[in-house]
Amino acid sequence: MILRTLAVVALALAAPAMAATAAKPGLKVTTLEGKPFDLSAQHGKWVIVNYWATWCVPCIKEMPDISAFVKSRKDVVAIGLAFEDTDAKEIKAFVDKHPVVYPIAQLDVTAPPKDFDPPKGLPTTYLIAPDGHVAQRFVGPVTGEKLSEAIARGS
């Protein structure tokens, strides 16, 4: 597990920060609670789209920061995308132990959302502007401070 985490971190650090495939990406997923999440329905808010995995130590470390950031701002929402080939029950159990204020959905690693580049490392986070365009892509851990700076720039 440690080697896999180190490999993901190394990939994340080596990967260039690229934009999503689409200028205004679409994303429709079903959360672990069975509720729909549609990125286009979030128009007018900043949206954090966070790819993570239960075995990814940097991912686990950033989840409370993202959660606190979302909780502190009325203009920000988030969706966590579990990017791993694991039983959904295991992901639900993980989220029960590491609760967040935003919804979590599990992605099929063999068929990731078409409007986003497949992550080259985890965590990978997209910050979507209120008009729907990708404001910034973060490869590696993200903090509330980094998110605040990106929003302040209006990236």
DSSP H helical segments within the chain, as ranges?
Answer: 2-14, 57-72, 88-97, 144-153
Q: What is the pLDDT of residue 149?
A: 97
Which is nearest to 52 in space by CA: 83, 30, 98, 16?
Answer: 83
Cα–Cα dist 58/67, whole Å = 15
Closest by Cα among 134, 129, 28 to 76: 129
What domain range is 149 assigned to? 2-153
pLDDT at 56: 97
Q: What is the pLDDT of residue 20?
A: 52
Number of domains making up the chain: 1
What residues does 46 pair with on adjacent strands?
76
Residue 67, amino acid: S
CATH number at residue 57: 3.40.30.10
Give pLDDT, residue 58. 98
pLDDT in tens, the chain (155 residues): 443 433 444 344 433 344 455 689 999 999 999 999 999 999 999 999 999 999 999 999 999 999 999 999 999 999 999 999 999 999 999 999 999 999 999 999 999 899 998 898 999 999 999 999 999 999 999 999 999 999 999 86
